[in-house]
Amino acid sequence: MNTLLDKLSAFPRVRLAHLPTAVEPLDRLRAHLGAAPRLWIKRDDCTGLGLGGNKVRKLEFVMAEALAQGADAVVSGGVVQSNHIRQTAAAAAKLGLECHLAVMTGRVPKVDPDYNDTGNILLDRLFGAHCVMLDWKADRNAVIASLIDGLKARGRKPYMVPYGASSALGAMGFVLAAIELLDQARALGTRFTHVVHASGSAGTQAGLAVGLAALAPHVELLGLDIDAEPERVERDVMRVAHEAAAMLDVSLHDRSIAVVPGYAGTGYGLPTDGMLEAVKLGARLEGLVLDPVYAGKGFAGFIDLVRQGRFGKDDNVVFWHTGGAPALFAYRSLFS
């Protein structure tokens, strides 16, 4: 383990997250489901900065690179209810960097009337980010390029934060997270057998895959597609994981990467019955806040896999809560 930590310490890191996040048993959910395996949750919804979530771990490495390059502004993009751009805006505020965001509207049809002003986007603005709104179908890379050019023309030094902070560098945050989970397993005297989470822009799964392949290849990692694009997600996880593995000199094994389809429903951000049930069960049985787009669909998949008997009685299965609570408020009519 030390050698992997040594290799990770070669990459500059700026501390932004409250770590380690808690890992807790889900005993009331387990009893409700009559589940044989022990169920756990890893609370990355509580990484702290700007209401937390999984991106803060990746931003510790990505923002450190921005600072090392002398950047005084960051540029990124995402949809209106992107948790990534909210956490990027919070990190930029904390580090004293200007933040410019290409914010895409219209990806999710038929949403609440205040969808474009509440939840994550309200927080982006509160953190002082400059938001340029554009249609989902517009050329977002061209918009980001023009934001970068505009900043350069004003004599600023912009740094582009990749979508979802899902570069190999960002994935280092989740290699560290895998080490954190294994430390917690040791302290609890438990051997985790499976990790299940919502996967989208790939950095979370790629980092966990590399960390687990290096240190605990017995742990099965299941990334659940929430984009309704499982092949694209798997390709991205493969690419980012292989790049990150090469940077750390880790060998991936053939079971390292599994993207599970079937829980996204008809499209990104569109509700499913499983998600609605999962968000309510998480809230009422465990006091959890799950969002309708990512963690809620991930939790629905986790519950479904337990019900299907996918895990054995001696298994210890971890649901990795990746955050996203602010988006819940932009979908309030689903729950009222």
Ligand X SMILES: Cc1ncc(COP(=O)(O)O)c(C=O)c1O
Q: Which residues are catalytic?
A: 82
C-alpha–C-alpha distance, residues 217 and 84, integer Å: 29
The bridge status of strand 316-321 relative to strand 259-260 is unpaired
Q: Quick one: which of 53, 162, 269, 271 contacts ligand X (CB under 6 A)?
A: 53
Could you tell me the smallest distance in angstroms from the CB atom of residue 292 to ligand X?
10
120 within 8 A of 82, measured Cβ to Cβ: yes
Closest residue by Cα to residue 116 from 81, 163, 87:
81
First to last CA, the chain: 48
Token pair for 254: 């053939």
- What would the x/- binding string for ligand X be over residues 159 to 188, using CB under 6 A? -----x-x----------------------
- Nearest-CB residue for ligand X: 324
Q: Does 121 bind ligand X (CB under 6 A)?
A: no
Could you tell me the smallest distance in angstroms from the CB atom of residue 58 to ligand X?
7
Q: Which is nearer to ligand X, 88 or 151 (CB)?
A: 88
Q: How many residues bind ligand X (CB under 6 A)?
A: 20
Q: Does 201 bind ligand X (CB under 6 A)?
A: yes
Q: Which is nearer to ligand X, 40 or 151 (CB)?
A: 40
C-alpha–C-alpha distance, residues 335 and 275, integer Å: 11
Contact window for ligand X (CB under 6 A) among 26-34, 143-151, 180-188, 202-210: 202-210
What is the sign of the dihedral through the CA atoms of 107, 53, 225 and 298? negative
Q: Which is nearer to ligand X, 184 or 204 (CB)?
A: 204
Q: Quick one: which of 158, 162, 173, 323 contacts ligand X (CB under 6 A)?
A: 323
C-alpha–C-alpha distance, residues 50 and 28, integer Å: 29
Helices 203-215, 55-68: inter-axial angle, 10-degree rounding = 100
199 within 8 A of 166, measured Cβ to Cβ: no
**Beta bridge pairs of residue 23:** 42
236 within 8 A of 209, measured Cβ to Cβ: no
C-alpha–C-alpha distance, residues 290 and 322, integer Å: 9
Q: Which is nearer to ligand X, 76 or 83 (CB)?
A: 83
197 within 8 A of 320, measured Cβ to Cβ: yes
- What would the x/- binding string for ligand X be over residues 139 to 158, using CB under 6 A? --------------------
Q: Quick one: which of 61, 159, 192, 294 contacts ligand X (CB under 6 A)?
A: 294
Q: Does 202 bind ligand X (CB under 6 A)?
A: yes
Q: Does 295 bind ligand X (CB under 6 A)?
A: yes
Q: Does 263 bind ligand X (CB under 6 A)?
A: no
Q: Which is nearer to ligand X, 146 or 270 (CB)?
A: 270
Q: Does 198 bind ligand X (CB under 6 A)?
A: yes
Could you tell me the smallest distance in angstroms from the CB atom of residue 147 to ligand X?
20
Applying CB under 6 A, the residues found at the interface with ligand X are 53-54, 83-84, 164, 166, 198-205, 291, 294-295, 322-324
